[in-house]
Amino acid sequence: MNNQHFWLANSYLGSRPVGDVWIADEQSAARRTALRQHNLAYFCQYCGTVWARVTYDRASSRWEICARACSEHGMTPLDAEVAGSLRSSYPGVDPLKFARDWPPEAIKWEAELLLRKYELGLLNLETSDA
């Protein structure tokens, strides 16, 4: 078993157990193609800071860079959905899909971030009467 560790700047938010590999989608499962976990650094394209990281005990030797605005510089309608968030923006299966087994401090960060975006009027919470 592998562990996934969450970092915000240099603050450790905790970890959770994850598998050594993951299946990206149904086609990958059918082909029996599994992907190895890799360490991820979140890079703000506005200020140039690596503002967060997700690391693994047993990861591939390469780092992936995710260009994603930090919570200070991404509070615009264009970036609001994912700015400052550690969760995956990929709609399918992903090792960073938000889940209840995330460390409490990482869940707290995501909740506070959503509240701040709501207070700034950046979230579209309208529902249709379809």
Sequence ranges of the domains in the chain: 2-119
The one-letter amino acid code at 49 reads: T
Q: Is 37 exposed, middle or buried (0-12, 13-18, 19+ CB in 10 A)?
A: buried
pLDDT exceeds cutoff 60 at 85: yes
**Distance of CA 67 to CAs 5, 36, 48, 76, Å?**
19, 21, 10, 16
Report which secondary-structure segment, H or E, holds 30: helix 26-31
- What is the chain's mean pLDDT, rounded? 83
Write down the pLDDT at residue 46.
Answer: 93
pLDDT exceeds cutoff 70 at 64: yes
Closest CA to 6 of 43, 44, 55: 55
Of 18 and 37, the structure prediction assigns the larger pLDDT to 18
Write down the pLDDT at residue 27.
Answer: 58
Q: What is the pTM of this model?
A: 0.81
Write down the pLDDT at residue 6.
Answer: 96
Q: How far apart are CA 78 and CA 85, in angstroms?
A: 14
Write down the pLDDT at residue 59.
Answer: 86
* Percent of the chain's residues with pLDDT above 70: 77
Mean pLDDT, residues 100-104: 95
Q: Which residues contact residue 92 at a Cβ distance below 8 angstroms, ignoring those fewer than 6 apart?
A: 24, 25
Mean pLDDT, residues 92-104: 83
pLDDT exceeds cutoff 70 at 34: no
The sign of the dihedral angle between the CA atoms of 106, 97, 69, 28 is positive
| pLDDT category of residue 95 using cuts at 50, 70 and 90 | confident
